[in-house]
Amino acid sequence: MPEPHPPRRPRRETVTYASAHGDPAHGVVPGPARRPLAHAPARSEIDEQTTLGHTYVRSLMRSQLRAALTALAALALLVGSLPLLLALPAPEALVWIALGAGVYPVVWAIAHWYVRRAERNERDFTGLVER
Amino acid sequence: MNQTYAVAAVTAVVLATVLIGALGLRISRTTSDFYVASRTVRPGLNAAAISGEYLSAASFLGIAGLVLVQGPAMLWYPVGYTAGYLVLLVLVAAPLRRSGAYTLSDFAEARLESRRARRLASLFVVGIGWLYLLPQLQGAGLTLEILTGAPDWVGGLLVALVVTGTVAAGGMRSITFVQAFQYWLKLTALLVPALFLLAAWYGDGAPRARFDAPAVLREHTVVRVADTVRIGLDAPLTVTVTGRVDAVPYEHRTVTLAPGTHHVLAGTELAFAPGSVLPERAASGTDPLGWSQPLAGGHDGHQLYATYGLILATFLGTMGLPHVAVRFYTSPHGRAARRTTLVVLGLVGAFYLLPPLYGALGRIYAPELALTGSADAAVLVLPERILGGLAGDVLGALLAGGAFAAFLSTASGLTMSVAGVLTQDVLPSRGVRHFRLATLLATAVPLGVGVVASKVPVADAVGLAFAVSASSFCPLLVLGIWWRRLTPPGAMAGLLLGGGSALAAVMATRAGLAPEGWAHTLMAWPAVWSVPLGFLTMVLVSLATPGRIPPGTPALLARLHLPEEFTGSVPSQEVRR
């Protein structure tokens, strides 16, 4: 993987989780050699950016994008449609209840679903690659 | 209002901020600590810090003020501020964290491998940051003016000084502590008085707020009109006037104004008898009532369009706010970034249950604020108005402290990110000392502009920053993260056309250049057309320049989307725990 920031600008180099935890290789982006790839051929395909490796990455991106679009569709359907519904002659109390309180649990529930779904996608991907 | 309590509360908040900031100064030893809190901030603390930073003057004061003046249609503001985090979560949160970008400019450069794209992004970060800082400082000025009668620039100066000091001294680590503290302070400061106010309202026979008809004053009320207004009357109105109405001078004279439009000069005092119907402000070409006015105006196409304009701006604009993006850098990994955002949604949503209550109570007990043009002060004056006495003073002081926490936290987050970009891309050399210089610059500009610029309701002014962000950084982030064929020319054209046109449209509306009717509505609420314009420009120009796709794109996209255990940023046992 190419170093994303030129080394002459140490200020923006990638501070890794490992280095932030006092890893001796402070500030160095770990290269492929550091990874435990002995037993996982699919994993080395990804590391070495082969066509097969890109196919794996694309499949993960597709499943994550599907989860994101599902969440956005739910948001559009449940919240985005409210201006149209509330434009109909509705009692003012309904506007207060819907916008003042009702929307927040709905938004949180969509977010909760998405987080679980995205983490499951990542777990499935890990299982597929490391099998 | 009793000044002593309020001044004591504001002083306590300022001191606590400085003290916690000083604590951070002792902790942050390395450069990495200084900028990114070494990325060790846990989701709970980080989520409170993100929420504390996000809940600005617009949330603490502005929403209640808008609801008081224009009714429940204004509840779309807090809904949009919250739902923006959901959109951010599903499209951007984890990949943005995994990109390793500290600012949006870093993201632009890493993704597009282009220094020019980076500089353009920096321009937008600084611009949006200043647009957002301006109302924070003006809100602080208004608050201190209401509390102590100090000139309106004093509050802004105070906030600017404290923020510059804390940010320059402690960097990100101290801000994380300060802002987590300020979230809980803000929530308490709104929640406790709200309980007392609701109890008093219930004891008062639970009068209903009416938004479909002009408000009726419950008691003898004297209104001092701060800025010249035009009022519209449906029926004759008897008031006691000291000052000038329709260019006729009066000195404590009781007059009956005929139905129609009247011109009330700044500084005029109007005394209303109990039971009077409060006149409503009338808009004119040179005196627009504010950006959000069409939202509440009749049930026609304008209102629906304006509502969707607000929804698009806030839902899609949150991800591009400079102080929001920076915060994701402090999560240890992508999964933590997602979980943090989930906690943020809970914290922010809980907070937003409260401001509408103040708006509704304000409509009942202090409707005349709509006429004086200081509706943003509704939250601050309600305890004195409803409870009075010692309880009113103490709760009013608590609210004043909370309001200052709001100005300080949002302003420090914005200052931090604007200063970060100024240090990297504007000032000649890098390092912590230059960062401190940049901090000064980041607050001085909006402070200076705030003195000369005209006042607009804070929630409206913040909405402007959202619209520009939604039309510029939203397309850049979404296409940058999910689309392989994005090119530097495409991204730059989209930033310029989408963000630039949104900015130009709203600025022109503000300056009174927009013609009446649909043109005005379209320009005041640009997101409906400027967001698609930004996306379309990025896609079309990118497709037209296929040779310019950055060579590192596949590798970078893999890093954005793969769990850290594959890219080596995190020890794998951390992730699979």
What's the pLDDT tens digit per position in B38-94? Answer: 455 677 888 998 899 889 888 898 899 888 888 888 899 999 999 999 999 999 999
| B117: in domain | yes
Token pair belonging to B505: 């449209």
B260-287 residues labelled b (16+ CB within 10 A) or e (exposed): eebbbbeebbbebeeebebbbbbeeeee
Task: For residue B91, give both structure tokens.
Answer: 């499209």
Strands (E), chain A: none
B192 and B226 inside one domain? no
B369 and B457 part of one domain: yes
Chain B interface mutation, best of A60, A77, A99, highest count of B Cβ atoms under 10 Å: A99
pLDDT of residue B519: 81
Residues of chain A neighbouring B350 (CB-CB closer than 8 A) = 104
One domain, residues B249 and B386: no
Q: Which two tokens stand for residue B375?
A: 């509706």
CATH code of the domain covering residue B191: 1.20.1730.10
Sign of CA dihedral B426, B407, B10, B149: positive
CA gap B217, B238 in Å, rounded: 13
- The CA distance from B515 to B505, in Å, is 12
Tens digit of each residue's pLDDT (9 = 90 or more) over B121-179: 999 999 999 988 888 888 888 888 887 778 878 888 888 888 888 777 765 556 677 78
> Measured in Å, how far apart are chain A's first and last C-alpha atoms?
24
Measured CA to CA, the distance from residue B287 to residue B404 in angstroms comes to 29
- Which one, of B30, B43, B73, lies nearest residue B304 by Cα? B73
Residue from A1, A9, A12, A52 whose CB has the most chain B CBs within 10 Å, to mutate: A12
Tokens of B503: 């900015």
Cα–Cα distance for residue pair B559/B568, rounded to 1 Å? 10
Contact A26, A34 (CB under 8 A): no
Same domain, A44 and A86: yes
B15 plus B140 within the same structural domain: yes
Residue A35: inside a domain: no
Indicate yes or no: CB of B569 within 8 angstroms of CB of A21.
Answer: no
Tally A–B CB contacts below 8 A. 171
Could you say which of B72, B85, B567 has the minimum Cβ distance to residue A92?
B72
Residues A17 and A54 in one domain: no
Q: Are residues A8 and A69 in the same domain?
A: no
Instruction: Summarize pLDDT for B475-528 with one digit per residue, the tens.
Output: 999 999 999 999 999 999 999 999 999 999 888 877 777 777 788 788 888 999
Q: Which run of H or E residues covers position B229?
A: strand B229-233
Task: Mention every residue, 6+ apart, whose C-beta is less than 8 A from residue B437.
Answer: B427
Q: Which domain holds residue A15?
A: 1-30
**What stretch of H or E contains B396?**
helix B389-425
- Does residue B381 fall inside a structural domain? yes
- Domain ranges, residue B358: 3-203+303-568
**Token pair 């969509």: residue:** A110
- Is A21 found in the same domain as A50? no
Q: Do B568 and A14 touch (CB under 8 A)?
A: no
Q: Does residue A93 lie in a domain region?
A: yes
- Say whether pLDDT at B433 is over 80: no
What value of ipTM does the predicted structure carry?
Answer: 0.87
**Pair (A44, A106) in one structural domain:** yes
For residue A14, the model assigns a pLDDT of 44
Q: Which positions ≥6 away from B92 have C-beta within 8 Å? A: B319, B477, B478, B481
Q: Tell me the residues of chain A between 10 and 49 that have a Cβ less than 8 Å away from chain B.
A: 11-12, 14-21, 29-32, 34-36, 43, 46-47, 49
Our CA-based measurement puts residue A131 at a distance from the nearest CA of chain B, in whole angstroms, of 14
How do B248-257 and B280-281 pair as beta strands? unpaired
Residue B538 resides in a domain: yes
Could you say which residues from 97 to 126 on chain A have a Cβ atom under 8 Å away from some Cβ of chain B?
99-101, 103-105, 107-108, 110-112, 114-115, 118-119, 122, 125-126
- In this structure, are B42 and B140 located in the same domain? yes
Residue in B38, B552, B562 closest to A20 by CB: B38
Residue B168 domain-assigned? yes
Are B418 and B505 part of one and the same domain?
A: yes
Mean pLDDT over B335-349 rounds to 93
Check: CB of residue B506 under 8 Å from CB of residue B467: yes
Q: What is the DSSP string of B421-485?
A: HHHHHTSSS-SHHHHHHHHHHHHHHHHHHHHHSPP--HHHHHHHHHHHHHHHHHHHHHHHHH-TT
Test B303 with A87 for CB contact under 8 angstroms. Answer: yes
Residues A24 and A78 in one domain: no
Q: Are residues A61 and A26 in the same domain?
A: no
Show which of residues 430-459 on chain B sit within 8 Å of chain A, judged by CB atoms: 430-431
Residue B470 and residue A125: Cα distance in Å, rounded?
32
Domain membership of residue B459 (yes or no) is yes
Looking at the structure, do residues B185 and B40 belong to the same domain, yes or no? yes
Average pLDDT, whole number, for chain A?
73
The reply to whether A12 and A46 lie within a common domain is: no
Domain count, chain B: 2
In a domain, B210, yes or no: no
- Domain shared by A57 and A94, yes or no: yes
Domain count, chain A: 2
Residues B273 and B345 in one domain: no
A9 in helix, strand or coil? coil
Q: Has residue A24 been placed in a domain? A: yes
Is the residue at B293 inside a domain? no
In a domain, A58, yes or no: yes
Phi, psi of B266 (to 5 degrees): -55, 140
Question: Is residue B288 a part of any domain in this protein?
Answer: no
Q: Are residues B240 and B190 in the same domain?
A: no
Q: Do residues B418 and B270 both lie within one domain?
A: no
* A75 in the same domain as A21: no
Q: Is the domain of A26 the same as that of A88? A: no
Q: Which two tokens stand for residue B263?
A: 């011109």
Task: Verify that B230 and B172 share a domain, yes or no.
Answer: no
What's residue B188's pLDDT?
94
- Are B89 and A115 an interchain contact pair (Cβ–Cβ within 8 Å)? yes
Shared domain for B71 and B165, answered yes or no, is yes
pLDDT tens digit sequence for B420-430:
888 888 777 66
**pLDDT tens-digit map of A5-64:** 444 444 444 444 443 444 443 334 443 444 444 445 666 666 666 677 788 889 999 999
Q: What is the pLDDT of residue B342?
A: 94
Distance from CA of A20 to the nearest CA of B (A): 5
Say if residue A73 is in the same domain as residue A17. Answer: no
